[in-house]
Structure 1
Amino acid sequence: MLSLRLVRRFGTAPHILATTAIASSVEKASSVRSNVAKPSGVDEPALIKLKNERDPEKLFNLFKANAHNRVVVENRFAFEDTVSRLAGAGRFDYIENLLEHQKTLPQGRREGFVVRLIMLYGRAGMTKHAVNTFCDMHLYGCKRTVKSFNAALKVLTQSRDLEAIESFLSDIPFRFGIELDVYSINIVIKAFCEMGILEKAYLVMVEMEKLGITPDVITYTTLIAAFYKANRPEIANGLWNLMVLKGCLPNVATFNVRIQFLVSKGRAWEANKLLAFMRRHKKFPELPDEVTYNLVIKGFCRAGFSEMAMRVYSAFHNEGYKPNQKIYQTMIHYLCEAGDFDLAYSMCKDSMQKNWFPSVHTIYNLLEGLRKDGKLDKLDKAKYIYGLVVTRIPPFPAAQIETMKSILSRN
Structure 2
Amino acid sequence: MSIHQAFMWPIQVQTSGSKKPWALAHRSRRCVAPPRSTPPPPSPTSRDLAAPHAHDHRLRALESRPPPRHQAVPDALPRRHPQPLRRLRRRRAHRNRRGSLPGSGPHSRHPFSAHAHSPHPADFPTIAACRAAISASKGSRRRQPSPSPSDASTTVAKDPAPAEQPALVRIKHERDPERLYELFRANAHNRLVVENRFAFEDTVARLAGARRNDLVEEILEQHKALPQGRREGFVVRIIGLYGMARMPGHALKTFQEMEMYGCPRTAKSLNATMKVLVRARLFHEVMQLIEDGPEKYGVKLDDISYNTVVKMLCDMGELRAAYQTMQEMEKEGLRPDVITYTTLMAAFYKYGQREVGDGLWNLMRLRGCEPTLASYNVRIQFLINRRRGWQANELVRKMYSAGIKPDEITYNLVIKGFFMMGEHEMAKTVFGAMHGRGCKPNGKVYQTMVHYLCNKRDFDLAFRLCKDSMEKNWFPSVDTINRLLKGLMGISKDRNAKEIMRLLTGRKPSYSNHEMEVFKGIVSQFAVT
* TM-score (norm: length of structure 2): 0.62
The partner residue of 2:495 within 375, 379, 383 is 383
Matches within 5 A, 1:348-363: 348-363=466-481
What is the CA deviation profile of residues 220-266 of structure 1, one whole-angstrom value per residue up to 9, with x for unaligned ones? 11111122222222222221121111111111111112211221222
**1:118 and 2:222 matched:** no
Matches within 5 A, 1:328-407: 328-373=446-491, 379=492, 381-392=493-504, 393-394=506-507, 397-406=515-524
Alpha-carbon separation, structure 2, partners of 1:391 and 1:107? 49
Alpha-carbon separation, structure 2, partners of 1:346 and 1:71? 48
Structure 1 gap segments, 5+ residues each: 1-40, 374-378
The amino acid of 1:210's aligned partner reads K
Please report how far the alpha carbon of residue 138 of structure 1 lies from its aligned counterpart in structure 2 after TM superposition: 3.1
**1:223 and 2:344 matched:** yes
Matches within 5 A, 1:6-405: 44-45=166-167, 48-49=170-171, 52-56=174-178, 58-87=179-208, 92-282=213-403, 286-373=404-491, 379=492, 381-392=493-504, 393-394=506-507, 397-405=515-523
Range that drifts further, 348-357 or 175-184: 348-357
Alpha-carbon separation, structure 2, partners of 1:313 and 1:174? 55
Range that drifts further, 82-91 or 173-182: 82-91
Question: CA distance change for structure 1 residues 169 and 274 in 2, over 3 Å: closer, same or farther?
Answer: same
Question: CA distance change for structure 1 residues 213 and 172 in 2, over 3 Å: closer, same or farther?
Answer: same
Please report how far the alpha carbon of residue 43 of structure 1 lies from its aligned counterpart in structure 2 after TM superposition: 7.2
Please report how far the alpha carbon of residue 126 of structure 1 lies from its aligned counterpart in structure 2 after TM superposition: 3.6
Alpha-carbon separation, structure 2, partners of 1:384 and 1:314? 23
Contact 2:313–2:322 (CA under 8 A) maintained in structure 1 = yes
The amino acid of 1:232's aligned partner reads Q
Alpha-carbon separation, structure 1, partners of 2:437 and 2:265? 47
The amino acid of 1:113's aligned partner reads F
The amino acid of 1:387's aligned partner reads E
Alpha-carbon separation, structure 1, partners of 2:216 and 2:464? 52
Greater relative contact order (Cα 8 A, min sep 6): structure 1 or 2?
A: 1
Please report how far the alpha carbon of residue 368 of structure 1 lies from its aligned counterpart in structure 2 after TM superposition: 3.8
Q: Which secondary structure state, in structure 2, belongs to the residue aligned with residue 390 of structure 1?
A: helix
Alpha-carbon separation, structure 2, partners of 1:99 and 1:399? 44
The amino acid of 2:495's aligned partner reads K
The amino acid of 1:54's aligned partner reads D
What is the CA deviation profile of residues 121-177 of structure 1, one whole-angstrom value per residue up to 9, with x for unaligned ones? 333344343233223323322232221121122223334344432221122223343
Alpha-carbon separation, structure 2, partners of 1:167 and 1:132? 14
Which position in structure 2 is the counterpart of 1:14? Answer: none
Please report how far the alpha carbon of residue 355 of structure 1 lies from its aligned counterpart in structure 2 after TM superposition: 4.1
Contact 1:336–1:369 (CA under 8 A) maintained in structure 2 = yes
Question: CA distance change for structure 1 residues 321 and 162 in 2, over 3 Å: closer, same or farther?
Answer: closer
Please report how far the alpha carbon of residue 85 of structure 1 lies from its aligned counterpart in structure 2 after TM superposition: 4.8
**Going by fraction, where is helix more abundant, 1 or 2?**
1
Alpha-carbon separation, structure 2, partners of 1:323 and 1:86? 34
Question: CA distance change for structure 1 residues 163 and 76 in 2, over 3 Å: closer, same or farther?
Answer: same
What is the CA deviation profile of residues 266-300 of structure 1, one whole-angstrom value per residue up to 9, with x for unaligned ones? 22222222122212332xxx311111011101110
Which position in structure 2 is the counterpart of 1:5? Answer: none
Alpha-carbon separation, structure 1, partners of 2:183 and 2:339? 41
Alpha-carbon separation, structure 1, partners of 2:428 and 2:184? 55
The amino acid of 1:218's aligned partner reads I
Q: Which secondary structure state, in structure 1, belongs to the residue aligned with residue 382 of structure 2?
A: helix
Alpha-carbon separation, structure 1, partners of 2:369 and 2:479? 44
Alpha-carbon separation, structure 1, partners of 2:524 and 2:407? 40
The share of aligned pairs that are identical, in percent, is 51
The amino acid of 1:100's aligned partner reads E
Please report how far the alpha carbon of residue 94 of structure 1 lies from its aligned counterpart in structure 2 after TM superposition: 4.3
Please report how far the alpha carbon of residue 348 of structure 1 lies from its aligned counterpart in structure 2 after TM superposition: 3.2
Alpha-carbon separation, structure 1, partners of 2:258 and 2:175? 32
Over the aligned positions, Cα root-mean-square deviation in angstroms equals: 2.7
Contact 1:349–1:385 (CA under 8 A) maintained in structure 2 = no
Alpha-carbon separation, structure 1, partners of 2:279 and 2:443? 31
Question: CA distance change for structure 1 residues 124 and 346 in 2, over 3 Å: closer, same or farther?
Answer: closer
* TM-score (norm: length of structure 1): 0.78
Contact 1:252–1:288 (CA under 8 A) maintained in structure 2 = yes
The amino acid of 2:498's aligned partner reads Y
Contact 1:186–1:219 (CA under 8 A) maintained in structure 2 = yes
Contact 1:217–1:248 (CA under 8 A) maintained in structure 2 = yes
Question: CA distance change for structure 1 residues 244 and 344 in 2, over 3 Å: closer, same or farther?
Answer: same
Contact 1:47–1:72 (CA under 8 A) maintained in structure 2 = no
What is the CA deviation profile of residues 337-379 of structure 1, one whole-angstrom value per residue up to 9, with x for unaligned ones? 1233343344334334444343343344344444545xxxxx3
